[in-house]
Amino acid sequence: MATLTGVPLDGGLMLRPLRLTPGQDLRRALECAVFAEGLSAAFVLSGLGSLQAVSLRFAGASEATILSGKLELLGLAGSLSADGAHLHGSVADDMGQVSGGHLGYGCIVRTTAEVLLALLPDWDFRRATDPGTGHAELVVRRRS
């Protein structure tokens, strides 16, 4: 088992707080934090901070929209699997207008991002195409 920093909870769950710094790509940094521990299963429980750019794919859209400027990350949640992240977030611009959707790569930290991860060392997350939705959906398995 990988050595983890965090608080052990029932069922092998570990909580890990992170602070990301200016210039980091939010999604890539979260994936790296999980995979560097040799894990393939985690949830983002909470996230807030400030971004200078965000890549959001709005509901039903096929392509992401890029927003830039002084953006506040109001909320962040999702899952991290060996096959990638599924993250949802909401941001507000400097006039308080809120946008939200799927977060892609290119969400660049402006001053800070504070994230709480739930690491699941006893589990393996993958993504596989679900015939019912046509999308790559989460597949959850206990590690042997």
Chain length of the chain: 144
Secondary structure element (H or E) that encloses residue 55, with its range: strand 41-57
| Res. 9 pLDDT band, cuts 50 70 90 | low
Assess contact for 77 and 47: CB atoms under 8 A. Answer: yes
pLDDT of residue 138: 94
Assess contact for 94 and 70: CB atoms under 8 A. Answer: yes
CATH class of 14-142: alpha beta
Domains of the chain by residue range: 14-142
Q: Provide the whole-model pTM.
A: 0.88
